[in-house]
Amino acid sequence: MGIDRRTFLKRLGVGVAGIAPGSLLSPGKVQAKEAAPGGTKEFMGVLVDTTRCVGCRSCEMACADSHGLPVPDIGDTAALEKVRPTSETQWTVVNRFNTAKGDVYAKKQCMHCNQPGCVSACLVKAMEKRKDGPVTWDANCMGCRFCMISCPFDIPKFEYDSAVPKIQKCSLCWERLQKGEKPACVEACPGEALTFGTRRELIVEGNRRIYGEQGKYIPHIYGEHEVGGTGYLYLSAVPFDQIGLRTDLGATPYPEFSKGFLYSVPIVLLLWPAFLIGVNTLTGRKNDVRRAQGGQQ
């Protein structure tokens, strides 16, 4: 009996219905790479030289001050007794680590990855990688907290005790950057432990310090390659895992890990319906034949 026009059109309709979400959901580029499209702007970042940090926590105070967060009492050294994570009210914290080379202080905040996991996790683009480098949060967020699952550094923090909760984290002072100012923490640092600049310049400067004073630093800039490169870069005299930085994260940008799945989406949405309609047609014919032959069933 074959396929009459009506049935054919019906099947075609189903196929097209399958293709439509397929093309809608097909991934484009997973994330911006080193520089913004057009190449007019470079990613900005901060170089943290932990050999220069004295643990004064001026950066913590400046950060709280410029973002309207509760200002910490930086005279109270008890806060340094244990290693603190960042929180929804403390976007940056300085921690003290007891190492073979004595006490080392290290600042912690959002790393502003080149290809951030949180940004590719966000289904409403509330998390955004700005053209000049900062990773920022916006109020169209649904509060699903997938960014928290996907951040290799556990940086996005959620306001659980609010009925109108926000995701809180360091924004690299994006609002100040737009005015041509430096991030508040960099400006407040009295020991020049923090240097603000383009990533490219900061990597050059980091290498200059490493090779200028042989043996002073671990010969590696943390963040140059970690998770595909980060905006915050660290220099240290002791191995990085001794100052609270994960050294097991690898150099693969985190969005790459879900790329394999995302790339399979349009393929499955195109091939599966075609296959299913084909099988459906075949089994239908089989029944026709059986019926034509007198039908054992």
* Binding letters toward other proteins, positions 165-184, x by CB under 8 A: x-------------------
List the one residue from 77, 87, 89, 178 that touches other proteins (CB under 8 A).
Answer: 87
Q: Does 158 bind other proteins (CB under 8 A)?
A: yes
List the one residue from 150, 171, 195, 242 that touches other proteins (CB under 8 A).
Answer: 150
**Identity of residue 87:** S
List the one residue from 8, 9, 25, 211 that touches other proteins (CB under 8 A).
Answer: 25
Question: How far is the C-alpha of 79 from the C-alpha of 138, rounded, in Å?
Answer: 31
Candidates 29-37, 89-97, 175-183, 233-241: pick the segment binding other proteins (CB under 8 A).
29-37
Q: Does 56 bind other proteins (CB under 8 A)?
A: no
List the one residue from 77, 89, 178, 287 that touches other proteins (CB under 8 A).
Answer: 287
* Binding letters toward other proteins, positions 106-145, x by CB under 8 A: -----------x--xxxxxxx-------------xxxxxx
- Write down the least CB distance from residue 222 to other proteins, Å: 16
Candidates 95-103, 163-171, 181-189, 199-207: pick the segment binding other proteins (CB under 8 A).
163-171
Give the binding-site size for other proteins (rule: CB under 8 A): 72
- Write down the least CB distance from residue 125 to other proteins, Å: 4
Closest to other proteins by CB, 77 or 280: 280
List the one residue from 102, 160, 180, 296 that touches other proteins (CB under 8 A).
Answer: 160
* Binding letters toward other proteins, positions 222-251, x by CB under 8 A: ------------------------x-xx--
- Write down the least CB distance from residue 190 to other proteins, Å: 30
Residues 6+ apart with CB under 8 A from 12: none
- Write down the least CB distance from residue 18 to other proteins, Å: 6
Q: Record the tokens describing residue 193, joined without a space.
A: 């432990």
Closest to other proteins by CB, 55 or 116: 116
Subset of residues 245 to 284 that bind other proteins, contact rule: CB under 8 A: 246, 248-249, 254-255, 257-258, 260-262, 264-265, 268-269, 272-273, 276-277, 279-281, 283-284
Burial of residue 207 (CB within 10 Å: 0-12, 13-18, 19+) is middle
Q: Does 27 bind other proteins (CB under 8 A)?
A: yes
SS3 for the chain, per residue? Answer: CCCCHHHHHHHHHHHHHHHHHHHHCCCCCCCCCCCCCCCCCCCEEEEEECCCCCCCCHHHHHHHHHHCCCCCCCCCHHHHCCCCCCCCCCCCEEEEEEECCEEEEEEECCCCECCCHHHHHCCCCCEEECCCCCEEECCCCCCCCHHHHHCCCCCCEECCCCCCCCEECCCCCHHHHHCCCCCHHHHHCCCCCEEEEEHHHHHHHHHHHHHHCCCCCCCCCECCCHHHCECEEEECCCCHHHHCCCCCCCCCCCCHHHHHHHHHHHHHHHHHHHHHHHHHHHHHHHHHHHHHCCCCC
- Write down the least CB distance from residue 82 to other proteins, Å: 13
Residue among 21, 20, 58 nearest 194 (CA): 58
